[in-house]
Amino acid sequence: QLHPNAPDLLSSTFKGLVIHTADSATNNLGPTYRFGYGLMNTAKASGPLGNDATNGFRNFIKEVMMTNGQYIQFPIVSTGGAGNPLSITMCWTDPAGAGNALTNLDNPAIKLVNDLDLRVVSPNGTTNLPWILNPDLTNRTSAARSAAATTGDDNRNNVEQVYIASPASGTYTVRV
């Protein structure tokens, strides 16, 4: 309704929007094995759509088609401070990976076909990495599965999110 002549949003865009605006279900930052990124907040998810309508089409939500080996980057301006965290979420539709044999149902091999990487470079040049969860594929302990998310190179998921709790004021560069 906000952009009647625009093409429909991709399913991955809706998924990213829901994840980006979810309310945390724990006291820890980032995703968890139990709750993912949290509880859906529909009212909050409508905010970026409204912001695009008043501040320029595709200003807050970007959909980009990329080919192998290609990258994209764009600037994001942060006002900075502890009360203004910076969060960037990326989501894509990935084709199905190779299936497991019936005798190997818990195969821990990575199934991601297109491994996109989200990086957010701060004004001072520091590269911020997305959340990752400890897969603990060897021991599968409950302690590892309940541990707080850390940051690093995510090569298992088709969703990546960079969160900076107290960003510096200035222009950040988002790279995919």
Q: Which among 142, 133, 135, 123 is positioned nearest to 161, based on CA atoms?
A: 133
pLDDT bucket at 172, cuts 50 / 70 / 90: very high
pLDDT tens sequence across 80-121? 888 899 999 999 999 988 877 767 766 777 889 999 999 999
Close Cβ partners of 76 (under 8 Å, ≥ 6 residues apart):
86, 88, 120, 171, 172, 173, 174
pTM of the model: 0.88
Residue 100 vs residue 173, higher pLDDT: 173
pLDDT in tens, 13-43: 999 999 999 999 998 899 998 899 999 999 9
Alpha-carbon distance of 72 to 174, in angstroms, equals 8
